[in-house]
Amino acid sequence: MDSISTASLHAVYLLFSGDKELWNIISISFSVSLRAILFAAPLAVLIAFAMAYHRFFGRRVLIYVFNTLLSVPAVIIGLTLYIIFSRNGPLGDLKLLFTQDAMIIGQFILCMPLILIMSHTTFQSSDRRIWETARTLGATRIQAMLTVMYEIRFGLLAALIAGFGRIIAEVGCSMMIGGNILHYTRNIPTAIALETSKGDFSQGIALGIVLLVMAMVLNLSLSLLQGRGEVV
Amino acid sequence: MTTFNITFKDLNKSFNQHLLFNIPELTIESGRCCLLSGINGSGKSTLLKIMAGLETPNNAEIYYKNIKLDWKSACKQIHKKIIYLHQTPLMFDASVADNIKYGMRKQGYSRNKIQESVKMALQWADLEHLKDNNARLLSGGEKQRVALARAYVLSPEILLFDEAFSNLDTQGRTRIFEQICKLKDEGVGIILTSHELAHNTSLTEHHMHLENTHLKIFSKENNIEHFNNIKTPELILVNA
């Protein structure tokens, strides 16, 4: 019990003393995950919109594929990418293994289906009159699409937050294709796993606090944006 | 003033291989008021949505200024001139004024022109006192007036009302009816749908009835008896 309280106190000290190593891990984590979200979100939301508002060949297959991808464990995606990016793999020449770019690709594959399926559900439950009203009032297809997105913004924002939550705390894929290299590919979850296995809890607790605070801030922001959350 | 008109030939629409309607020829034009009737599920709303370019027909030849247009080009013309109003209007999550500004903003009008037109439209629809309120929180009748003002600022050639009176109380019906009369006087073409035979012989010059995939068209000039034998909105208003 004593060791846990000492570790917790040390964790708080590490956070507030501006420990370089700790904040470097935090910055790598956020930089990689934010870049992954930045690439994944627009694509996912656009595909989700197309699937909800347009009929095209293969639409149902696409929904099935993304639903399946949603339930693929992170470690399987990590393993697949490891094989692809390893020296003898089909994309070995790109020398992406154990780089931040590989981690971004892994996290992109992890969060894209989640954002896409959640956005698709949000689009599906949106009122078609939004699109029709926008179009009949002279909005172009792109303007009408942006109007629909604005009207269902809270649902889309929740999809983004869920996607970000999935990758910021993901360990399997980052560990396998990032390699957990200090100051380069070590992020919050891989650092927590490593320090805990070494029996050094203070850094793990400090990083855990960061993840918890982040989750609270994101959800609080969403709640504040949603207002009273009533149906109008 | 030149009359806007658009003609649909061989217009047909099916859902799941079930033919909804097949119309050999249909011309809609500005300055005229027409009632479109038919029982529930006869395809009135679908026909209006096709006219508004919101629904794609299975087949149609479209002529605008005597030139045959493909569906995409026709939609470009239609979206500038024809506005469809839903039975229950959708309000964007914004103020009444912003809802009215929506179409003008999207069509690239100048800020001054937008301000001027919105002010006029608010007066026209008697909505000045509500301009800063969130449009979603208004009553059904007020929403219908916002929807009308939102269309009015865009100076449409034709307005398509899908069951414009169905969700309104007597007072609301009277107000919307008066505004439709004003629009007609300004030369706007009006098409109203109703599953009741609730139309006004002084307002409508044409009656289109959709039944068993066919559209029957009666004009007042040739079928005055037909118009005299149907209930008028005054009667509906009194009975409501």
The CA distance from A153 to the nearest CA of chain B, in Å, is 11
Q: What is the pLDDT of residue B172?
A: 80
The answer, yes or no, to whether residue A130 has pLDDT greater than 50, is yes
Q: What is the pLDDT of residue B237?
A: 38
For residue range A65-77, what is the model confidence (pLDDT) as tens digits? 999 998 899 999 9
Q: What is the pLDDT of residue B226?
A: 62
Mean pLDDT of A192-205: 90
Q: What is the pLDDT of residue B235?
A: 36
The answer, yes or no, to whether residue B202 has pLDDT greater than 90, is no
Closest among B47, B97, B75, B79 to B154, alpha carbons compared: B79
The answer, yes or no, to whether residue B223 has pLDDT greater than 70, is no
Give the C-alpha separation, B161 to A118, whole Å: 35
A196 touches chain B (CB under 8 A): no
How far, in whole angstroms, is CA A105 from its chain's centroid?
Answer: 11
Mean pLDDT of B87-95: 95
Chain B CB contacts of A134 under 8 Å are 102, 106
Nearest-5° angle of CA B58, CA B63, CA B64? 130
| String of DSSP letters for A169-216 | T--HHHHHHH---TTTT--HHHHHHHHHHHT-HHHHHHHHHHHHHHHH
Q: What is the pLDDT of residue A157?
A: 93
For residue range A11-63, what is the model confidence (pLDDT) as tens digits? 888 889 888 999 999 999 999 999 999 999 999 999 999 999 998 899 999 99
For residue B194, the domain's CATH number is 3.40.50.300
Of the listed ranges A31-40, B31-40, B175-184, B230-239, the least confidently predicted one is B230-239
What is the token pair recorded at B74?
């026709």
Give the C-alpha separation, A53 to B170, whole Å: 37
Sign of the Cα pseudo-torsion (B29, B30, B34, B39, in order): positive
Q: What is the pLDDT of residue A75?
A: 93
What is the token pair recorded at A112?
């894209």
Instruction: Specify the CATH number for A20-195; select among 3.90.1150.10, 2.60.40.420, 1.10.3720.10, 1.10.10.60.
Output: 1.10.3720.10
Inter-chain contact A135–B90, Cβ cutoff 8 Å?
no
A134 touches chain B (CB under 8 A): yes
Strands (E), chain B: 5-15, 18-29, 33-37, 59-64, 67-69, 82-85, 158-161, 189-194, 206-211, 214-219
What is the token pair recorded at B83?
């506005």
Inter-chain contact A129–B93, Cβ cutoff 8 Å?
no
Sign of the Cα pseudo-torsion (B147, B148, B152, B154, in order): positive
The answer, yes or no, to whether residue A230 has pLDDT greater than 60, is no
Mutate to test the interface with A, among B71, B81, B86 (most CBs of A within 10 A): B86
Inter-chain contact B86–A132, Cβ cutoff 8 Å?
yes
Looking at B67-220, list the stretches that DSSP marks H as alpha helix, in order from N- to C-terminal side.
Answer: 71-81, 96-106, 111-124, 140-152, 170-185
Burial A53-69 (b: 16+ CB within 10 A, else e): beeeeeeeebbeebeeb
Indicate the pLDDT class of residue B163, thresholds 50, 70 and 90: confident
Inter-chain contact A136–B107, Cβ cutoff 8 Å?
no
What is the token pair recorded at B124?
């026209």
Inter-chain contact A143–B106, Cβ cutoff 8 Å?
yes
Among A38-52, B4-18, B220-234, name the most confident range: A38-52
Domain count, chain B: 1
B81 touches chain A (CB under 8 A): no
Mean pLDDT of A70-96: 94
Among A129, A134, A140, select the one facing B86 at the smallest CB separation.
Answer: A129
CA distances in angstroms from A27 to A32, A176, A178, listed in the order given: 8, 20, 15
Show Cβ contacts of residue B58 under 8 Å, excluding neighbours closer than 6 positions: B12, B13, B14
Binding-face residues of B in 132-171 toward A, CB within 8 A = 134, 136-137, 150-151, 154
Indicate the pLDDT class of residue B4, thresholds 50, 70 and 90: confident
Give the C-alpha separation, A29 to A23, whole Å: 10
State the residue range of the domain holding B94.
5-239
How far, in whole angstroms, is CA B64 from its chain's centroid?
Answer: 19
Provide the mean pLDDT of chain A. Answer: 92
Q: What is the pLDDT of residue B105?
A: 96
B39 touches chain A (CB under 8 A): no
